[in-house]
């Protein structure tokens, strides 16, 4: 019994964290309660956090990860030293493992309350009335052709380098990010909120190796983007992360929102990036459904668009392997754990929403 008395504080900590987590698990089945919790508790709290964190251009989320990794390393190093020196080693092991469990469960519970709850509220489809529907082959072909046409027309409206690749100023893309959603508020009032420019991640190359283009961090309220990946997708990636910042959890819905808002905003860079992202999703689906139609539409694209897509494929090909695969599997499990039963494949269902909306 003495070991329990020695660690009384840690046991209380663990019980409180576990109690809050269990309460979340029980409450998540009530959509009205989750809707209330989002609108009255977590969203105001996260926007307050964001107001503080956006006082600096540095990604506080990136700093948070660095601190947690550093503290964890020193904690484990100290634990090993103490266990080696201790006479009753099992007691020391128990204490340090208990400490890790308390910290880990607290962080996870906080994540559930600040972000996991979004998976159990009214989603964007319910709020907007745009639903993913079964896709007819002819509709898919027509919408893909429409995106190819708009993409071709917008290809010459953006700056390009000597190789013909997308070369819009990164600073301008970030500056325009706060106005991307303005033209969509009339049709989608549920998206209305004050925007702040996302944060550029310093270790973006590591994000690429993990197969991530951006992430929203609920503990700081920040949208963070990978600035090392191909620039032609940076605007639509920013629009995607700003959708997460609005409390939209579904990846498929955030892709749809990024495409619709980007293609209707006043920035040429965002419009081109939005048409490009939409065409790739639609084109991939059309290739599976009707390769002949896909070839005919793809052949209509100008050379500079083909170059942007080829560069994007080549960039991500260099990171294919164990690390990216492992990261994708972890994220796939994460999505399934919160009810997105298709996991990573849920990205593909954005096609259903695009066809339903544009046909």
Cβ neighbours of residue 106 under 8 Å, at least 6 residues apart?
13, 17
pLDDT digits (tens, 9 = 90+) for 149-191: 999 999 999 999 999 999 999 999 999 999 999 999 999 999 9
Backbone angles phi, psi at 148, to 5 degrees: -65, -40
Which helix (H) or strand (E) segment holds residue 140: the answer is: helix 137-154
Give percent of the chain above pLDDT 70.
92
Q: Which of 229, 258, 237 is nearest to 350 (CA)?
A: 258
Q: What sign for the dihedral angle of Cα 225, 227, 232, 235?
A: positive
Q: Which residue's entry shows tokens 């990216």?
A: 324
Rounded to the nearest angstrom, the gap between the alpha carbon of residue 317 and the centroid of all alpha carbons in its chain is 21
Sheet architecture: strand order including 214-217: 199-200, 222-225, 214-217
Exposure b/e, 292-325, CB count within 10 A at least 16 = b: ebbeebbeebeebbebbbebbeeeeeebeeeebe
Domain locations in the chain? 2-120, 124-358
| Distance between CA atoms of residues 135 and 69, nearest Å | 45
Count, in order, helices (H) and strands (E) of the chain. Answer: 17, 3
The mean pLDDT value for 131-148 works out to 93
Model's pTM, two decimal places? Answer: 0.90
What confidence tier does 86 reach under pLDDT thresholds 50, 70, 90? confident
């Amino acid at each position: 019994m003495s070991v329990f008395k020695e660690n009384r504080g840690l046991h209380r900590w663990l019980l409180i964290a576990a109690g809050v987590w269990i309460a979340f698990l029980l409450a998540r089945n009530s959509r009205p309660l989750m809707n209330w919790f989002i609108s009255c508790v977590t969203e105001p709290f996260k926007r307050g956090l964001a107001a503080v964190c956006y006082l600096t251009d540095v990604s506080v989320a990136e700093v948070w990860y660095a601190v947690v990794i550093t503290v964890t390393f020193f904690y484990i190093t100290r634990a090993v030293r103490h266990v080696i020196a201790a006479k009753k080693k099992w007691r020391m092991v128990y204490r340090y493992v208990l400490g890790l469990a308390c910290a880990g469960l607290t962080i996870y519970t906080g994540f559930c309350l600040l972000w996991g709850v979004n998976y159990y509220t009214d989603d964007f489809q319910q709020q907007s009335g745009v639903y993913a529907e079964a896709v007819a082959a002819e509709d898919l072909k027509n919408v893909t052709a429409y995106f190819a046409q708009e993409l071709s027309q917008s290809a010459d409206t953006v700056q390009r380098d000597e190789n013909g690749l997308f070369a819009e100023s990164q600073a301008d893309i970030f500056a325009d990010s706060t106005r991307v959603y303005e033209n969509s508020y009339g049709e989608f009032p549920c998206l209305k909120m004050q925007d702040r420019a996302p944060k550029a991640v310093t270790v973006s190359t590591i994000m690429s190796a993990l197969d991530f283009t951006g992430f929203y961090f609920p503990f700081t309220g920040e949208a963070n983007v990978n600035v090392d990946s191909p620039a032609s997708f940076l605007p639509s990636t920013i629009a995607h992360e700003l959708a997460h910042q609005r409390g939209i959890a579904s990846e498929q819905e955030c892709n749809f929102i990024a495409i619709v808002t980007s293609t209707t905003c006043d920035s040429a860079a965002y419009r081109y990036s939005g048409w490009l992202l939409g065409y790739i999703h639609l084109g991939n689906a059309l290739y599976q459904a009707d390769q002949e139609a896909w070839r005919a539409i793809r052949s209509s694209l100008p050379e500079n668009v083909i170059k942007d897509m080829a560069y994007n494929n080549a960039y991500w090909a260099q990171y294919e392997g164990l690390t990216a695969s492992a990261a994708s599997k972890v994220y796939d499990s994460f999505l399934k754990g919160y009810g997105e039963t298709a996991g990573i494949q849920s990205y593909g269902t954005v096609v259903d929403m695009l066809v339903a909306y544009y046909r």
